[in-house]
Structure 1
Amino acid sequence: MRALSLIAALGLLASPALAGPVTLKANPVDDDGRVTLGDVFDGAGPAANFVLASRAGPSVVFEASQLQAIASRNGLQWANPNGLRRVVVRQASLAPATGGNIVTAATAGPSAVTPPAPTVAAPLQRQARAARVIARNDMVEVAYAVGGVTLTVTGRATRDAAPGESVPILNVVSGRTIDAVAIGPGRAITGPEAQAARDQLQFASR
């Protein structure tokens, strides 16, 4: 009996303490490169310090079934009620605010984390702003040149324009709109020379 009791006691010491059911953290993170059960689960108890993996990069990806098996071996019960496929544990300083490290079973593709699509709109908008020489509501001097004579009138631009682009100019005195071509900051041209200026400036901008 004493021998059996000793064996039973040794078995209890060797086995992990049962912490019961645990809950997956909404945003699992670690801050020291050692990913533990406590980093992944709430309620891990004495098993919280068990090291699952060492994180060499910004994140570590675990299969949900792998986590379940390791948790079970350490006396923890995780039922995976949401049917997750993978769980990503990130470096604490890089993790999203909430819920960004959990991949559901419905997620397609082999990658656990889908990188955001590259943003192209902002650079294009910056380029457009850089090329613009006339802004909407700018006061613009419009030149009409023919036969060696140049006439000018000042009006308000009704839209933005880059060099070589058409820009309607409202004559604030007469109320009429002049079809012109932007040639520089606050300057536009109309009449027979407008088309030639448009072709020249648009060719130069390519």
Structure 2
Amino acid sequence: MPDVAERAIHLMMAGTLDDLREVVHPGATNREAVAEPPACRGTGPEAFWATALWLRTGFSELAFTVDESVVERDLVVTYGRMSGRQTGDFVVWTAAGAVERAFAPTGRRFEVRHAHFQRVRDGLVVEHWAVRDDQSMAMQLGWLPPSPLYLARCARATRRARRAASASPSVPAAAAAPATTRPA
């Protein structure tokens, strides 16, 4: 069971939709999708794939190192470190499905602790949620504390993402709005 959960996490970083279909149940839900593009909020491998694309649009060189996995009945808890480099706009969404803000690319690397909780039934992930150290990630990427220049770059990135979302609502704004890779 931990193999399926760990594989699902690794596939989010570098797998394909077909790969996700092998480990994610058609009715699987991701509780974390509330701040993600609307396409991520559905169920099944397609929604998980939309989350993977959303992450990959903002970050390159994504990796997850598993430090420990614990199994209790149908629940697998995977604790480890996620790392990557911010090379694109990272767009955060409201619960209503609108672009809330975008963090302009900084070109910086990050490595933060994550704990992922996944329910596994019949060899497939049926539910996911996580606890992440988003504040450390924001500090490592230079989002916090923001400089006046970085705030201006984020305002432009947010406008780009909002225009892209209104022009093509079915495409995640982060994917529709190419970003520069200038450091902050």
**TM-score > 0.5 by shorter chain:** no
Q: TM-score, normalised by structure 1?
A: 0.20
Which protein has the larger Cα radius of gyration, Structure 1 or Structure 2? 1
Q: Which has the higher contact order (CA 8 A, sep 6+)?
A: 2
In terms of fraction of residues, the more helix-rich structure is 2
